[in-house]
Structure 1
Amino acid sequence: MFLNELLSIYGLEPSDIKLHMAMGEKVKIEPLLAFTNGDFKTWQEGQRNAYFGRKYILSLIYLRNNEWLFGGVYSVNGCNQVSEKKFKYDTTLQAYGSDLIGRVVLYYEKNFRNNYLIAENHISNMQLIEILRDKFICDPFPGYANATISYEQLKQITITEENSWKTALSIVNGIYVITDISTGKLYIGKADGEEGLWQRWCYYASTGHGSNIDLIELLKNKSEDYKLNFQYTILEVIPKASNQEFINERETYWKDVFCTRKHGHNKN
């Protein structure tokens, strides 16, 4: 099924619709995080121009490469220009497809910059590929070898206590790396608490620095928002039964491998 077929079920005219391919400028998943936090409507209503020149906005939220999450159909009630490059819309979420919001995933190869599309020019190329059983919260845990997430994703996972992530991270200790994606500098750390990696990463989600001296200084000198540049990756999983000496040795090994005392954010 394609989006044009879905719209026909609800009796919506494509000529009444502006498609909003919702994607953050710096962080692509920014609107997705707003959606999972219940703030998408507010996020969407703030624009840099009067982009929504039709009766309805059909919101498609960037999920991952070429995949978009249905965010609902909104009526456009009005628009006010509040500054030179700031417009504030007044919208109302409509009942069209309300049971599918956050559940329908569409496939569409968007290889251009424009995020505000004339519906009739694109909807026949937007294919429905999945209907999730439950409303989307976050991607499930992808396995220890593929667990790389941004600070915003980490924040969302810990706030919602997403079950697959919490379970996987709680049952193991390990060595992790925090990458400052703006500079490439690394911080190597260990997780050896009662709840393993989950406990340690929850602390990063709440503080941004995890009480690490260099990261505290970095956020102080830059800004609290600088933590949005941090990316978290598991380097090595260590069984809970391992002794403390072994965990310390593995942490030292990875610090030596990446030279994080000399070129990164490790102080010792």
Structure 2
Amino acid sequence: MELNELLLGKGIDPRGVIVFRHRPNEPELNKVFPLLAADRPDLFNAYQQTHGEKVEKAMLSAKHVASFIRHGSGKALFIGAFAIRKTTPLTQAQYWRVPAHAELRKLGMRGFVTGSRSSCLWFDLKSIDFYSEWKGKLIVDWPPPERSWWRRAHRNQMSIHAVLEDSALDTAMQKWNELDLTWSQLSILPKRWQAKLAEWRGIYYIFDSSDAKGYVGSAYGAENLLGRWRNYGTSGHGGNRLLRQRDPTNFRFTILELVSPTMPPEEVQWLESNWKERLHTRQPYGLNDN
């Protein structure tokens, strides 16, 4: 069986389908793209709603998009199918005013609207119920050449390689002492990770890669580390005076120590102070002002 048979089985003519196998060129965005596919469908769809002129032309004559992401050499992992509806021209200024584009930019997206192009087309893509239960599970063989990331469905044969029992998008939580997150990644944490961070309380470290200075903080309130890091993800500084003066895109977040969920706040605060002393994060050497 192959993809075109699945399309026909749902009453979709392959002649009107563009198949994407997304693999962003930007290294930082490519690294987190499976997380967007898993838990941020708004950002995933925003990424595929604008394209270069050649893809624009193909989409104008199509009715549907079948979206996959790269899943190793010669394989593609199914994310969803979308109906192509209206188009809207966007200038470069309008393009970057789209909130999702601004968020993707923080994750490393450069945007294709460069050079001599003064505008692009934005495609209204509406998710449709096409084997939705196979999101992250359906794997198809991607015909060569490998670098050709989009195809017209009716001109290609994409055999069904496998239908997994569990989604390949379910990202296992790293060990707490292996986490090393950028500020931008705080907004796209997988749900499984969020649940764990909400359980964990302890001492965390913020490293500013611009000058190698650090900040030590503690988390023991509502939602523990998740609640604290969400605050940084939203504000960029978490209310800390010295961090307000800095660019949060240079921040990296790690965990120094986990503590018991029943540890009294004053003991957590003592541990925090102890880490500040040992890592010399109080000003003028670091970013703690107390």
Per-residue deviation at 1:211?
A: 1.0
Structure 1 residue 47 and structure 2 residue 51: aligned? yes
CA RMSD of aligned residues (A): 4.6
Structure 1 residue 17 and structure 2 residue 12: aligned? no
Per-residue deviation at 1:14?
A: 8.5
Between the aligned partners of 1:96 and 1:122, the Cα distance in structure 2 is 23
Candidates 130, 136, 141, aligned match of 2:164: 130
SS of the equivalent of 1:242 reads coil
Across the two proteins, how many residue pairs are aligned to each other?
A: 250
Candidates 213, 217, 234, aligned match of 1:206: 234
Between the aligned partners of 2:53 and 2:285, the Cα distance in structure 1 is 43
Equivalent position of 1:72 in the other structure? 80
Closer, same or farther in 2 for the Cα pair 1:14/1:171, shift >3 Å?
Answer: same
Relative to structure 2, which stretch is displaced further, 184-193 or 17-26? 17-26
Closer, same or farther in 2 for the Cα pair 1:156/1:256, shift >3 Å?
Answer: same
Per-residue deviation at 1:10?
A: 2.5
Equivalent position of 1:59 in the other structure? 67
Structure 1 residue 177 and structure 2 residue 202: aligned? no
Between the aligned partners of 2:69 and 2:204, the Cα distance in structure 1 is 30
Between the aligned partners of 1:185 and 1:174, the Cα distance in structure 2 is 20
The one-letter amino acid of 1:217's match is: Q
Per-residue deviation at 1:233?
A: 2.0
Between the aligned partners of 1:267 and 1:89, the Cα distance in structure 2 is 47
Between the aligned partners of 2:181 and 2:69, the Cα distance in structure 1 is 18
Structure 1 residue 36 and structure 2 residue 69: aligned? no
Closer, same or farther in 2 for the Cα pair 1:114/1:215, shift >3 Å?
Answer: farther
Q: Is the 8 A contact 1:181 1:229 kept in 2?
A: yes
The one-letter amino acid of 1:23's match is: P
Between the aligned partners of 2:212 and 2:156, the Cα distance in structure 1 is 38
Closer, same or farther in 2 for the Cα pair 1:193/1:78, shift >3 Å?
Answer: closer
The one-letter amino acid of 1:47's match is: H
Alignment of 1:1-268 (within 5 A): 5-11=2-8, 13=14, 17-23=18-24, 25=26, 26-28=28-30, 29=32, 32-33=35-36, 36-54=40-58, 55=62, 56-61=64-69, 70-74=78-82, 76=84, 82-83=90-91, 84=117, 86-93=119-126, 95=128, 97-100=130-133, 102-104=135-137, 106=139, 116-118=149-151, 127-128=161-162, 130=164, 132=166, 139=171, 141-157=173-189, 162=191, 164-181=192-209, 184-193=212-221, 195-218=223-246, 226-244=247-265, 246-261=267-282, 264-268=286-290
Per-residue deviation at 1:167?
A: 4.5
Unaligned runs of 5+ in 2: 92-116
Percent of paired sites with the same residue: 22
SS of the equivalent of 1:231 reads strand
Closer, same or farther in 2 for the Cα pair 1:94/1:214, shift >3 Å?
Answer: closer
Q: Could you tell me the TM-score, scaled by structure 1's length?
A: 0.65
Q: Which has the higher relative contact order, 1 or 2, with Cα contacts under 8 A spaced 6 or more apart? A: 2
Closer, same or farther in 2 for the Cα pair 1:119/1:165, shift >3 Å?
Answer: same
Between the aligned partners of 1:66 and 1:151, the Cα distance in structure 2 is 33
Q: Which has more strand, going by share of residues?
A: 1
Closer, same or farther in 2 for the Cα pair 1:30/1:180, shift >3 Å?
Answer: farther
Unaligned runs of 5+ in 1: 219-225
Q: Could you tell me the TM-score, scaled by structure 2's length?
A: 0.61
